[in-house]
Amino acid sequence: MGNRTIVPFGPQHPVLPEPIHLDLVLEDERVVEAIPRIGYIHRGLEKLVEKKDFQQYTFVAERICGICSFMHGMGYCMTIESIMQIEIPERAKFLRTIWAELSRMHSHILWLGLLADAFGFESLFMQSWKIREQILDIFEETTGGRVIFSVCDIGGVRKDISAETLQKIVGILEQVDKELKELTEVFLKDTSVKSRTKGVGVLSKQAAFDLGAVGPMAKASGVELDMRTQGYAAYGKLKFAPIIDTKGDCYARTKVRIKEIFQSIDLIKQCVELIPEGEIKVKVTGNPSGEYFTQIEQPRGEVVYYAKGNGSKFLDRMRVRTPTFANVPALLETLKGCSLADVPILILTIDPCISCTER
């Protein structure tokens, strides 16, 4: 038994692109307890519903987070559409699904890069982000934006993708698929990478459920929780099964995310085959009155939107429960008993998105 030391971690830390602060209570090199302190990015954007009307708020919702920007916009629009009982055109649903799955790919590849950076494999980080640029190019070509697109709107989507471009996307994805296979081999088979991720930060199935973990964090521990199975947008017409692993360590979480990237490629290809012709937007009249809870699956897991309208242009309340918020308790649990050197990797394997968490 050594002496207890408290090591402050963050808010500015080389492996963290975003500020979060943890007080790590250590006994020699072992972490006994981790106490989080958040609030460096808290903006209070849920309060903005009082100043921006429900249509303008779409742009705010997209800026909850710059990585899963499209999904936030989509989740918010779906909530308002449910309240106002708007049925959006089929084509818009498929387009949303395509952009959502592309977002998942870009988010997971970005995460793979950051993970590589966290265990000091710089060239792997560079390779991952090089592949990711091809997906950003698709975004730019189809929406005009690289990270924030503003393409989702209440009642549908603002831009259409032509059949030619859809075929082109499939071509690019085939190329990406090839490059990714080579890249992910390293994450899954390289001895030095495995030595950093295998058996590190194990979260049992029971603990994952009890702590309310969501997304790849829960899936890697064997909890089947994937909101896409509920068939929102066009997911009801696509064939897929949630990706589950049982080991619950960092390696399993990496594996789940890697498999999800390839699943996304498959889903986009299915969408391109099935997408119907037609309108992409319906006209929206009136103001929302009523309330609704929407659950969708983001790259980081289940997200919950709640909106309550009172019949005026301004909503009474809009609330987001983001996946990282739900995963923080599970992170604190896995940190207990790990060694100080593994802390950055453990923080990264929940794929933290602090700006989502604090809003």
Partner 1 sequence: MKFVKKSPWILHYDGSSCNGCDIEVLACLTPLYDVERFGIINTGNPKHADILLITGSVNEQNIPVVKQLYEQMAEPKVVAAIGICATSGGIFAECYNVVGGVDKVLPVDVYVPGCAARPEAIIDGVVKALAILEEKSKDARKKTGK
Partner 2 sequence: MGQQTIKAISSNELLAEVLHLKNDGYRLVAITCTCKDGMELSYSFDKNYELLNLRINIGLDEDIASISFLYPFAFLYENEIKELFGVNIKDIAVDFNNSLYKIPVKTPFRKEGTE
Judged by the rule CB under 8 A, the positions of this chain that interact with partner 1 are 11-15, 17-19, 39-45, 47-48, 51, 59-60, 63-67, 69, 110, 113, 125-127, 129-130, 133, 136, 145-148, 353, 355
**Which of the choices partner 1, partner 2, none does residue 229 contact, using the CB cut-off of 5 to 8 A by kind?**
partner 2
> Whole-angstrom Cα distance, residue 72 to residue 291?
18
**Which of the choices partner 1, partner 2, none does residue 227 contact, using the CB cut-off of 5 to 8 A by kind?**
partner 2
Residues 6+ apart with CB under 8 A from 20: 10, 11, 36, 37, 38, 40, 347, 352, 354
Integer CA distances (angstroms), 5 to 13, 256, 340, 345, in order: 19, 35, 12, 21
The end-to-end CA distance of the chain, in Å, is 40
Q: How far is the CB of 218 from partner 2 (least distance, A)?
A: 10
Cβ proximity to partner 2: between 21 and 198 the closer is 21
**Which of the choices partner 2, partner 1, none does residue 25 contact, using the CB cut-off of 5 to 8 A by kind?**
none
Q: How far is the CB of 60 from partner 1 (least distance, A)?
A: 6
Q: Which two tokens stand for residue 166?
A: 């859809």
Q: How far is the CB of 241 from partner 1 (least distance, A)?
A: 30
Q: How far is the CB of 73 from partner 1 (least distance, A)?
A: 12
**Which of the choices partner 2, partner 1, none does residue 102 contact, using the CB cut-off of 5 to 8 A by kind?**
none
The three-point CA angle 281-69-77 to 5° equals: 35
Cβ proximity to partner 1: between 60 and 220 the closer is 60
**Which of the choices partner 1, partner 2, none does residue 146 contact, using the CB cut-off of 5 to 8 A by kind?**
partner 1
DSSP state at residue 246? S
Of 225, 209, 213, 86, residue with least CA distance to 156: 86
Q: How far is the CB of 243 from partner 2 (least distance, A)?
A: 17
- CB distance 265 to 177 below 8 Å: yes
Coil, helix or strand at residue 328: helix
Amino acid symbol at 358: E
- CB distance 170 to 269 below 8 Å: yes
> Whole-angstrom Cα distance, residue 211 to residue 329?
6
Q: How far is the CB of 44 from partner 1 (least distance, A)?
A: 5
**Which of the choices partner 2, partner 1, none does residue 65 contact, using the CB cut-off of 5 to 8 A by kind?**
partner 1
Tell me how far apart the 2 most distant CA atoms of the chain are, in Å: 69
DSSP string, 139-162: HHHHHS-SS----EETTEES----
Contacts to partner 2 by CB under 8 A: 38-39, 42, 44, 46-47, 82, 209-212, 227, 229-230, 232, 292-295, 302, 304, 306, 308, 310, 316-317, 319, 321, 325-326, 328-329, 358
> Whole-angstrom Cα distance, residue 267 to residue 121?
30
Q: How far is the CB of 40 from partner 1 (least distance, A)?
A: 5
**Which of the choices partner 1, partner 2, none does residue 8 contact, using the CB cut-off of 5 to 8 A by kind?**
none
Per the omega criterion (within 30 degrees of 0), is the bond before 11 cis?
yes
Dihedral angle, C-alpha 80, 86, 89, 93, nearest 10 °: 30
**Which of the choices partner 2, partner 1, none does residue 179 contact, using the CB cut-off of 5 to 8 A by kind?**
none
Q: How far is the CB of 110 from partner 1 (least distance, A)?
A: 7
